[in-house]
Amino acid sequence: MIQSASIGVTISFTAGVLSFLSPCVLPLIPSYVSFITGMSLDDTQRSRRTTLIHALLFVTGFTLVFMALGATATVLGRLFHQEREWVGRVGGVLVIVLGLYLLGVFNIGAFAKERRVHVANKPLGYLGTVLVGMAFAAGWTPCIGPILGGVLTYTASSADLNRGLLLLFAYSLGLAVPFLLAALMIDRFMTLFQRYKGALVWMSRASGVLLIGIGILMITGSMTVLSTWLQQWTPDALRDRI
């Protein structure tokens, strides 16, 4: 059970990282950093403490929304607890559909339309940064929507509130860690982005493959089988600590 939970956390964290690397999030990171701090990119390098505070508050904003969505998905999963097996299978099919969308097999109109929340002027103070983070989480569906939807569907199938919150916290952490690093080292981030921006399409495809894999595991009920298999390859010293 613990091993299975750790796999879910790993998958959710990886999904968060892939959301950060998605084609409509990664290119706008410098704009977000400048917007939430109210400083130019050069100034953010000279005022790292202020940059870090605003970045942490931005992360807090979208984490609160994602965890609230995780709690909601868990509650819905509990309502259908008697049909838990079918919830897992139907959810698996949905996750596979989202994965195929990210691979470009077909289009889903709801994800093709932009849902970003445009804020002309950020509210003053640190609270404004938290609100911008919440707006980011609530409105940025075109790229993170399919990935987040996959995580939420998997969360709903577990019908466990604590686990649901943990999975969405892991997803948020996967999105937050690279954002914090980028905010503190924006000059290096921009250099790396210019060098590897051509590979962004592969990030979307990697996300699609991940979702399809999760969907197959959900349909076949093989998540515990995967846990058992991975446990055989886990060093004894590490296994004893889990």
On the question of pLDDT at 242 being above 50, the answer is no
pLDDT in tens, 58-90: 999 999 999 998 888 888 877 766 666 776 778
**What is the rounded distance in angstroms from the CA atom of residue 147 to the CA atom of residue 76?**
19
Which two tokens mark 132? Answer: 């911008």
Distances (CA, A) of 169 to 22, 120, 149, 173, 206: 19, 29, 15, 6, 21
- Assess contact for 15 and 210: CB atoms under 8 A: yes
Which two tokens mark 80? Answer: 């259908």
On the question of pLDDT at 91 being above 50, the answer is yes
All structural domains of the chain with their residue ranges: 2-228
pLDDT in tens, 188-207: 898 888 887 777 778 778 88
Q: Is the pTM of this model over 0.85?
A: no
pLDDT in tens, 99-135: 888 787 876 655 555 455 555 556 567 888 898 888 8
150 closest CA partner among 23, 11, 4: 11
